[in-house]
Structure 1
């Protein structure tokens, strides 16, 4: 959607915001007519921008994953540090804080993931994150800070799978485990996955 005019980008953003609000208020349910009413536009405008209800849901999920990517995966949490483990421990804390602070996290990761378009988007995002994680592990190996014998791609997939499941478990609890405590437990798990065989 990079070729949209500023006005069209604003309209699209307003529609996404209306959809997010509707999803939160309705516990994951979304009716296009209610989103249009909330945004003060015609239903047809939603179809013009997103093609379908499923396209709108996928756009909401894509926005979530884009923000996760920017704040967690692509960001360097400790740019002044050359210590791979210290930096990645901080990245784990950022991941937990992002998910805990994101009202849509539970919906995107559970309810919306049942929608085929959202599931396909999630699969692409996970594959990208596994690749990024593997590249990151290889940087740690090249710096001599991680065991060179580790299969970076497999270890990245294991770590991200464990992280995802642990976050789902934590989101479903009342009360949730404190973010710092969960991050510490996750980092302990990750350190084990990175240990020499």
Structure 2
């Protein structure tokens, strides 16, 4: 029976894997998934053999990059759902999803054909239908932040539609993700805010902030 690998060796292997994923994520965003392994190895600071030991096929690497983005989004949304202010919660929920979908846009075709696609799709649907979003909408209506005539389920559907992953992936590029986050959040909030309820200060046009 082979002796277990020393702890430092296991730690080095984990660090190398993380460096490869991070480098691949940046290269995919810059150039799409058609990147040369030598360029990836150079960016990650590892040998090509290390890449293939961790990711024997390109699809394995794409799936790992996508999973890392989804894991980050899970953590970000947990923080978002802890926000009490319903306006800020809805605004950050939209921004987080748009950032995630625009980041994964270069991976769209490969993700759809990956064996893990259904798992990834399930996670995205969970973000769009989380009951804590319903609770925030209901809280916003009750507090007078959102229009009194809104229906919670219909409003959630509207918010989910604004962050539809396939549409966002198709739009980025040429649309700039950071601009998309601001403009779509602005449009959604204008549609659901109660009359007289101000937009968040960084979304409101000059002269309308806090009014």
* Aligned-partner Cα distance in 1 for 2:106–2:129: 25
CA gap 1:27/1:94 in 2 versus in 1, 3 angstroms = closer
Residue 56 of structure 1: how far off its partner (Å): 1.0
CA gap 1:29/1:186 in 2 versus in 1, 3 angstroms = farther
Gaps of 5+ in 1: 193-197
CA contact (8 A) 2:86 2:137 kept: yes
1:1-197 equivalence runs, <5 A: 5-32=10-37, 34-36=39-41, 38-39=43-44, 40-43=46-49, 45-71=50-76, 73-76=77-80, 79=83, 82-96=84-98, 98-99=99-100, 104-108=103-107, 110-117=108-115, 119-132=117-130, 134-138=131-135, 140-141=137-138, 145=142, 152=153, 156=156, 159-164=159-164, 165=166, 167-168=168-169, 170-173=171-174, 177=179, 179-188=181-190, 191=192
Larger radius of gyration: 2
Q: Can you list the C-alpha shifts for 1:49-88, whole angstroms capped at 9, x where unaligned? A: 34532111100111112222323x2223884xx4423432
Superposition CA RMSD, Å: 4.0
CA gap 1:17/1:144 in 2 versus in 1, 3 angstroms = closer
TM-score relative to the length of structure 1? 0.64
Gaps of 5+ in 2: 1-6, 194-211
TM-score relative to the length of structure 2? 0.60
Between Structure 1 and Structure 2, how many residues are aligned?
Answer: 178
Q: Can you list the C-alpha shifts for 1:86-120, whole angstroms capped at 9, x where unaligned? A: 43234334544x359x7x44313x34434323633
Residue 15 of structure 1: how far off its partner (Å): 1.3
* Aligned-partner Cα distance in 1 for 2:82–2:132: 17
CA gap 1:114/1:31 in 2 versus in 1, 3 angstroms = farther
- Which structure has greater helix proportion? 1
